[in-house]
Amino acid sequence: MSAVAPKPEILAAFEAAKGFMPVDEGLALYAAAREAAALGLPLLEVGTYCGRSTVLLADAARGAGTVAVTVDHHRGSEEQQPGWEYHDPETVDPEVGLMDTLPSFRRTLHRAGLEDHVIAVVGRSPQVARVWGGKVGLVFVDGGHTDEHAAADYEGWAPHVAEGGLLVIHDVFPDPVDEFTGQAPYRVYLRALESGAFEEVSVTGSLRVLRRSGPGI
């Protein structure tokens, strides 16, 4: 995979956005997105949050004349709820008393000048996957971290990865000592490799890039 880097203003937008992805993983995601975008198919993200990773997918999509699609119910994952380690009180809508990361996400995209290159879908990942019709060049799985959610994301979206397209999984922690939200993404990663449908392309921190090399999931 070519080590293509985003322009400084895109990297700055990524770093300015709320979120948890470190720069080295962002650069690996960007390189994967640039490669996959060359297929001319949409790039699909599960887990928008405040748009940190979406900025990178959107810029890669823009460069290839395609689009990034990002799916989130915007109510936050388990570990982001009040009282949990990854909770940010600024993400709570005071009127309804629940998290709502959609306004922050929209500000991120606006500031980055990337609104025209993203389709934001507000909904639950498995429901959206069920009505999704076409192939995608890349699926980036960064949604819920329970086994139920991670498996549903894989089963819902991996079938849509085109031949030669990429499956990118975040928060893969092979060592339970390193886990902060559990090892469900690691189990999905193993399942993808064991399926024979995907082969590993790169490892950067907790980010794994796999390429579709055969049919199925």
Ligand X SMILES: C[S@@+](CC[C@H](N)C(=O)[O-])C[C@H]1O[C@@H](n2cnc3c(N)ncnc32)[C@H](O)[C@@H]1O
Interface with ligand X by CB under 6 A: which residues? Answer: 19-21, 47-49, 52-53, 71-77, 101, 124-125, 142-144, 149
Judged by CB, which is closer to ligand X: 88, or 113? Answer: 88
Judged by CB, which is closer to ligand X: 144, or 165? Answer: 144
Shortest distance, CB of residue 193 to ligand X, whole angstroms? 22
Catalytic residue among 73, 74, 117, 145: 145
Which three-class secondary structure state does DSSP give residue 20?
coil
H or E segment to which residue 53 belongs: helix 52-64
Judged by CB, which is closer to ligand X: 130, or 194? Answer: 130
Judged by CB, which is closer to ligand X: 82, or 196? Answer: 82
Shortest distance, CB of residue 188 to ligand X, whole angstroms? 13
Shortest distance, CB of residue 5 to ligand X, whole angstroms? 17
Cα 159 to Cα 53, 136, 139, distances in angstroms: 22, 9, 10
Q: How far apart are CA 45 and CA 152, in angstroms?
A: 14
Burial profile 155-165: b = 16 or more Cβ within 10 angstroms, e = fewer: ebbbebbbeeb
Question: Which residue number has the CB closest to ligand X?
Answer: 19
Q: How far apart are CA 107 and CA 86, in angstroms?
A: 21
Indicate if 145 belongs to the active site.
Answer: yes
Q: Which residues contact 17 (CB under 8 A, 6 or more apart)?
A: 50, 51, 52, 55, 108
Shortest distance, CB of residue 81 to ligand X, whole angstroms? 10
Angle separating helix axes 52-64 and 23-37, nearest 10 degrees: 30
Catalytic residue numbers read 145
